[in-house]
Structures are given as C-alpha cells and as structure tokens.
C-alpha cells in the first residue's frame, strides 16, 4: 500500500533499482529527491538524452550563458562614469537573483526553508564579499586580469588549509600554486605596464574576493548536505539577505543616491544590461551544477577553464584595450598550474606517464641508437 502510494513498484533483476526512504506521516517528501535518474535544467529533462548529448547540452549552456555574462559585465563597466558604482551593480544583481530564486522555489512542491537562518547570514556575508568585491575590482583592473585572478582560487584555499586545518599538500599541489602565483605576477606586471587605468586597489579587491570565494564553497556544500537544502532555496535566502547587507552599507556610506541618479539617466545601459547579466549568470550556474552531477568535478573544471580562456580572448576582440604577449605567457603559466591541480586530484583517472616511464623510454631509445650504430 505504501509502496504504491509513492510509486515504488516491483522491478525485475534486469532493471535498475531506485532506493529512497519513506518519510513519516508528519513529513513531506522533497521534490528534489523524486528520482536519482531525473535531472532537469531550465525545464530540460537531461535524463532522457544519451551521455554525449547531455555533455553537449551542458557545455553549450556553460559557454553560451557565461560568455554572454562576461560580455555584459564588461559592457556595463565600459559605460562612461559607471566604474564607481560596482557595489550598486551587485545590489541590483542580488535583487534579480532573489527574484529568480523565488520564482524557481514557487515551482517546487516543497517550499520549506531547511537551512538555519544563522547559516544563511554567514553565507550571505561571504557571497557579498565574493561578488561585490569582484564587481568593484573592475573599476580598477582590466577584465582579463580579473578573470585570470578568478582562475587561481586554489591559492587561498591552500593557504587556509595549511594555517586553519593544518593540511599537508603533495608536490603537484605545491607546484600548481607556485605556477599560478608566478603566472598572476607575470600577468599583473604586464597589465601595470600597458594598462593606463591599472591600480593596485583592484588587485587587493579581487584577492579578497578570491578568499571569500574559497570559503563560501565549503560552507554551502556542508549546509546543503547536512540540511538537504535545494539550490533554489540557497539562492533565494543567501542573495536576499545579501541584498539587505549591501543596501544597508550603501545607505550608511551615502553611495545609494549618486548610483540611482546615474542609472536613472542611463536606464537601458544599466538596469537593462544588469537584468540580462543576472539572468545569464543564474542560468550558467545551473548548467555548471548539472555538469558536476553528471560527469564529475574534473570535467566541470576543464570546461569552465576553457570558458574563462575564451572569455579573455573575446574581451580583447570586442573591447579595445592595450595588448602585450606577456599576457599570453602569464596566462599559459596559470593554465599549467590549473592542470597540475586537476592532475593531483585525479591521478588514477588521467593515467599520465610518470617519471619512471620517461626514464624507461629514454633507456629504450639509447638501446635502439646503440643497435643502429652496431649495424
């Protein structure tokens, strides 16, 4: 009787079994655990497609929405006079994200808040630091420099792991952090020599944003695992509370009035761009989460890294800015550091040749040369 109520029918041995727990009479089953087979992104049921088609849809979604997101972000800051209003852009972005999260949550059957309010206050504060500082840094840095810094989240994560948790890292992780650090220094020095608006304040802002970003991922993951919260719930409460934080901060420092006045004079280039900027960012993260769930973090990191590289290329194509080949060498060094970090966490899956393999190849090559000389 109970099995029939929740759709649990008998399966033969040739079919897959879906194991779920039956809630008590006082509980309501969450729609997010209807089936481990079903995964919907923007209304598309990806479980109905084959694995290659799923991969193509996810990658296309990540590239499409995040490339548009990056383009619109730089386009907004290219509006003359807008650069001092990075925090106001974050306020508008948080408002739109809260609306999107509310709409998505209303489309689900279980609308209860599962994660405690205190946890959301911490997550909201970190989210404000991540996105607010990142947006504000564009008033002082070129967009490609900001993207390069975003690729190097590993550095603050490792530093925090060493001093806070006493972790020890292997040689590949240390080498990855060194490569990323050198690549960042190279890229930043190149930017300081050719960019007329370079300012060390931007480097400080994006560095602080990276530190907050490194912490927020662990807090979100732990909260969602312990309390079984949904993505839409996380977005709604963290961004709505963050909206209140930013609004209060702008009111205290008197930054709200000038920003509203400026944006009222350019509504299409500010609010219009900000709406699509927020919408594409919201859709993009949905495809990233689907990619992680279907194919794992290794594939997701590879795809998002490729997306960031494409974003930098398009930034130089669509927006006029000074260029030097030092950008390329610094960027390649950062990419190599990312590869080392991915390899250190997926050695068994990647099966790359080891140092012993290289030695064996060299020895076999020497033997072949000696034999050819003898002949």
Predicted confidence (pLDDT) per residue in 145-178, tens digit: 777 777 776 677 677 667 655 677 777 777 877 7
Which tokens sit at 286?
């949905």
Region 196-221 average pLDDT: 77
User: Which pLDDT score is estimated for 199?
Assistant: 74
Candidates 300, 332, 359, 352; CA nearest to 172 is 352
User: Which pLDDT score is estimated for 191?
Assistant: 65
User: Which pLDDT score is estimated for 259?
Assistant: 92
Residue written as tokens 């060094």? Answer: 333
CB 327 within 8 Å of CB 190 = yes
User: Which pLDDT score is estimated for 143?
Assistant: 76
Region 187-214 average pLDDT: 76
Of residues 337 and 217, the one with the higher pLDDT is 337
User: Which pLDDT score is estimated for 37?
Assistant: 47
User: Which pLDDT score is estimated for 112?
Assistant: 75
Max mean pLDDT among 125-139, 148-162, 169-183, 323-337 falls in 125-139
Report whether pLDDT(35) > 50: no
Of residues 365 and 20, the one with the higher pLDDT is 365
* CB neighbour burial string for 336-363, b if at least 16 within 10 angstroms, e if fewer: bbbbbbbbbbbeeeeeeeeeeeeeeeee
Q: What are phi and psi of 40, to 5 degrees?
A: -110, 135
Q: Average pLDDT over the chain, rounded to whole? A: 74
* Least trusted range by pLDDT, from 201-215, 297-311, 331-345, 348-362: 348-362
Report whether pLDDT(20) > 70: no
Query: Measured between alpha carbons, how far is 4 from 89 in angstroms, rounded to an integer?
Result: 51
Query: pLDDT tens for residues 299-323?
Result: 666 677 677 777 777 777 776 666 6
Confidence of residue 231 (pLDDT cuts 50, 70, 90): low
Residues 6+ apart with CB under 8 A from 32: 108, 110, 228, 230
User: Which pLDDT score is estimated for 2?
Assistant: 44
Query: Measured between alpha carbons, how far is 187 from 175 in angstroms, rounded to an integer?
Result: 18
User: Which pLDDT score is estimated for 198?
Assistant: 63
Region 221-226 average pLDDT: 72
User: Which pLDDT score is estimated for 285?
Assistant: 78
* CB neighbour burial string for 10-26, b if at least 16 within 10 angstroms, e if fewer: eeeeeeeeeeeeeeeee
User: Which pLDDT score is estimated for 295?
Assistant: 75
Query: Measured between alpha carbons, how far is 67 from 61 in angstroms, rounded to an integer?
Result: 10
CB 308 within 8 Å of CB 151 = yes
User: Which pLDDT score is estimated for 316?
Assistant: 72
Candidates 37, 39, 2, 46; CA nearest to 17 is 37
Query: pLDDT tens for residues 71-104?
Result: 898 889 888 888 889 899 999 999 998 998 888 8
* Least trusted range by pLDDT, from 300-304, 331-335, 356-360: 356-360
H/E run at residue 83:
none
Report whether pLDDT(353) > 70: no
Q: How many angstroms separate the Cα of 337 from the Cα of each of 15, 214, 301, 305, 352?
A: 44, 17, 13, 12, 16
Percentage above 90 pLDDT, the chain: 14
Of residues 169 and 140, the one with the higher pLDDT is 140
Confidence of residue 49 (pLDDT cuts 50, 70, 90): confident
Candidates 184, 158, 182; CA nearest to 170 is 158
Region 244-251 average pLDDT: 93
Which tokens sit at 322?
């000074």
- Is 0.75 topped by the overall pTM? no
Which tokens sit at 261?
């006045």
């Amino acid at each position: 009787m109970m099995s029939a109520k929740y759709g649990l029918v008998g399966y033969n041995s040739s079919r897959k079994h879906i194991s779920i727990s039956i809630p008590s009479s006082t509980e309501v089953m969450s729609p997010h655990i209807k089936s481990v087979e079903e995964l919907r992104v923007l209304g598309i049921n990806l479980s109905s497609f084959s694995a290659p088609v799923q991969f193509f849809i996810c990658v296309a979604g990540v590239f499409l929405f995040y490339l548009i997101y990056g383009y619109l972000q730089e386009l907004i800051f290219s509006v003359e006079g807008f650069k001092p209003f990075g925090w106001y852009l974050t306020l508008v972005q948080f408002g739109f994200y809260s609306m999107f999260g509310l709409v998505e949550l209303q489309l689900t059957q279980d609308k209860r808040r599962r994660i405690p309010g205190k946890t959301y206050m911490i997550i909201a504060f970190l989210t404000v630091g991540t996105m607010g500082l990142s947006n504000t840094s564009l008033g002082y840095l070129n967009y490609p420099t900001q993207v390069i810094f975003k690729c190097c989240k590993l550095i603050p994560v490792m530093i925090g792991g060493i001093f806070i948790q006493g972790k020890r890292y292997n040689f590949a992780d240390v080498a990855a952090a060194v490569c990323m650090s050198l690549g960042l220094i190279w890229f930043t020095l190149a930017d300081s020599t050719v960019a007329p608006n370079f300012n060390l304040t931007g480097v400080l802002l994006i560095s602080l944003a990276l530190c907050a970003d490194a912490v927020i991922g662990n807090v979100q993951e732990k909260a969602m695992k312990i309390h079984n919260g949904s993505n839409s719930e996380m977005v709604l409460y963290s961004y709505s509370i963050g909206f209140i934080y930013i609004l209060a901060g702008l009111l205290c420092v008197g930054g709200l009035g000038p920003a509203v006045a400026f944006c009222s004079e350019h509504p299409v280039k500010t609010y219009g761009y900000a709406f699509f900027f927020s919408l594409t960012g919201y859709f993009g993260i949905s495809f990233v989460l689907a990619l992680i769930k279907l194919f794992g973090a290794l594939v997701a990191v590879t795809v998002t890294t490729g997306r960031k590289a494409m974003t930098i290329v398009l930034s130089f194509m669509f927006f006029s800015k000074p260029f030097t080949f030092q950008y390329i060498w610094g960027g390649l060094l950062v990419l190599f550091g990312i590869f080392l970090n991915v390899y250190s966490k997926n050695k068994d899956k990647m099966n790359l040749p080891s140092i012993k393999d290289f030695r064996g190849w060299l020895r076999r090559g020497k033997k072949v040369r000696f034999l050819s000389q003898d002949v």
